[in-house]
Structure 1
Amino acid sequence: MGRKGVRRGAEHDVEKLLDELHTTPPSDFVSRREQLAAAAKADGRPEDARRIRAARRPTLAAWAANLLLRSRPQESRRFLELGRALREAYRTLDADGIKELSGQRRNVVSALSRQACELALEAGHRLSDAARQDVESTLRAVLADEDAADRWAAGRLESALTPPADFPAAASSAAGGRHKPTDAVPPPSSRSRAKDELAERRRQRQEQLGAARRAARAADRRLRDLRAEQADADEVLHRAHDRHDRAGRQLSAAEEQLRQAREELERARREEGEAGERRRAAAAAAARAERVAQDAAREVERLAGPAG
């Protein structure tokens, strides 16, 4: 039981770490990811380390959207509720509701986009015009698409989201359909058949649209993964270049030290040889001087002896 409790705590910890990682500025993302993964591995949590290392660096706009969600929870929650209400109005073709909520949508998207830019600037990153447009695109997608809303609500976007192209058009068609006058009212049976045919065409279109959206989302996720992998590979390559340059400089310094050591060794060998020669010469001279001294001593002893 205790072991299971530890495991639940570890999973809770790794979720917090992943949340933190996706609000880390993109310039620091890779180094922070490696630091967290290494710490998890050293702590005996290889699965957590794998999950952390699998995280992909967000684009600047996606990071700003994640930061907005985490830093403005109340505004973000109301924004998600607005999206649910707006999607329900489109689904039921409530023209009045669509008109009212669409006005809120424009104001809220604009306000939240500004907040995201301000948060990014406070974190040290000024969003370009293109990044700001991507943030707005993401927020519009959150309002229009339930899957996009769920992905943003998770707080771990890796790239900007794109709203469905047919969402804005539904407002005009719904509103027009509600207020357009009719010249003639068909009989009840004709209205029923037309309604059934219209419902069937809508159902088929929704199925086709759903399949197309799923395919588009899958392709978009694949593209984001590939771009993130390329960005990570670029980062790793950059670090490898740096290490290569440092190793090259260290090798050059080591080679220079080796050259100097060899020269010093050669000088020491020469000096050793010269010292050996001097020692041998000094030894020979000392031997000669000893013999001369011995001869002189014998001569002194001879001369000092009794006279014959």
Structure 2
Amino acid sequence: MARKHGRTDAASDVEDVLDELYTTPPPDFVARRNELAAAAKTSGQVEEARLIQAARRPTLAAWAANLLLRSQPEESGRFLELGRALREAYRTLDAEGIKELSEQRRSIVSALSRQAAELARAAGHRLSDAARQDLESTLRAVLADQDAAGHWATGRLENALTPPSAFPSGTAPAGGTPHKPRRRAAAPSSGTPAKNDLADRRRRKRQEELAQARKAAKEAERHLRDQRTEQAGADAALRRARHRHDRARERETAAEQQLQQAREELQRADREQQEAEDRLRTAADALARAEQAARATADEVERLAGSDG
């Protein structure tokens, strides 16, 4: 980790390192943490090294939630905004409105957890059923609880989050029973104009909050559908690319084998050519010696014939 001048730069360095670390797959977390801490210590950043070394390995579910936040910042921001809108809407809605938003909330959590699981799979780690349940639990907690949302927004979860037993729906009396919104009367039998006006404003406010929550939920669902379509296209493109890569690898292997065979044949041909050249030289030498011997013999025969005459 390169050392920067100034305390602010050093703090920024360690924040970036921790962001990276908590998107590192859990099996590689400890080795990467030790590597980064050692690099910081070598650079003289002793306090930063201590902070890095203090990081704790996340569970697979927590890591997948961190990965989702870092990989999909725009979508994660919408999810956090949706949580704020839902928590506000749940405080004032009637039972019918709560049921409608609950169904949308379950659909969004399910879709987003599938997306996180796909990101984890693409990073080389499939989530077990238990890890998927922990992931969904974390996302439900983010929607239902402001503290949980703030914790997830750091991108450094170590463990799965647990949602509250019930989605926040307003204040509760001393006995712990959730507050139920009053039913709208068919026609007020009495009351001053000021009270009626206040009741009308409250009803309009609840209706506006419900409309905003419905709009946010529908927008989130639409965006998730778009993301799933895009992801399906990316998966198909990846499969095609892998198929082309495998075919190219097969052709490369076949070409390498052919090249190796050609090289071996060339070496054999070189050896055979060398042997043939050696044989040719040997035969030429033998021929030359035979011709010389023949001439010498002919000369001797001629000499002897001349002597007899």
Q: TM-score range by the shorter chain?
A: 0.5 to 0.7
Distance 1:84 1:132, change over 3 A: same
Q: What's the offset of the Cα at 1:108? A: 1.2
Match of 1:12?
12
Match of 2:136?
136
3-state SS, counterpart of residue 162 of structure 2: coil
Q: What's the offset of the Cα at 1:153? A: 0.5
8 Å CA contact 2:90, 2:168 repeated in 1? no
Match of 1:35?
35
8 Å CA contact 1:61, 1:132 repeated in 2? yes
8 Å CA contact 1:94, 1:174 repeated in 2? no
Q: 1:56 is matched by which residue type in structure 2?
A: R
Q: What's the offset of the Cα at 1:96? A: 6.2
Q: What's the offset of the Cα at 1:35? A: 0.3
Q: 2:42 is matched by which residue type in structure 1?
A: A
Unaligned stretches of 5+ residues in structure 1: 189-308
Q: What's the offset of the Cα at 1:107? A: 1.7
Match of 1:306?
none
Match of 1:65?
65
- Are 1:163 and 2:179 an aligned pair? no
**Count of residues paired in the alignment:** 185
Distance 1:108 1:123, change over 3 A: same
Q: 2:133 is matched by which residue type in structure 1?
A: Q
8 Å CA contact 1:95, 1:175 repeated in 2? no
Distance 2:117 2:156 in 1: 18
Distance 1:33 1:72, change over 3 A: same
Q: Tell me whether 18-27 or 82-91 shows the greater mean CA deviation.
A: 82-91
8 Å CA contact 2:134, 2:161 repeated in 1? yes
Q: What's the offset of the Cα at 1:101? A: 3.2
8 Å CA contact 2:141, 2:162 repeated in 1? yes
Q: What's the offset of the Cα at 1:6? A: 2.1
Deviations 1:54-100 (A, max 9, x none): 00000000000000000111111110001001111123346565444
8 Å CA contact 2:19, 2:156 repeated in 1? yes
8 Å CA contact 1:84, 1:143 repeated in 2? yes
- Are 1:116 and 2:126 an aligned pair? no
Unaligned stretches of 5+ residues in structure 2: 171-176, 193-309
- Are 1:85 and 2:80 an aligned pair? no
TM-score using structure 1 length: 0.54
Distance 2:4 2:40 in 1: 18
Distance 1:100 1:81, change over 3 A: farther
RMSD: 3.1
Deviations 1:259-278 (A, max 9, x none): xxxxxxxxxxxxxxxxxxxx
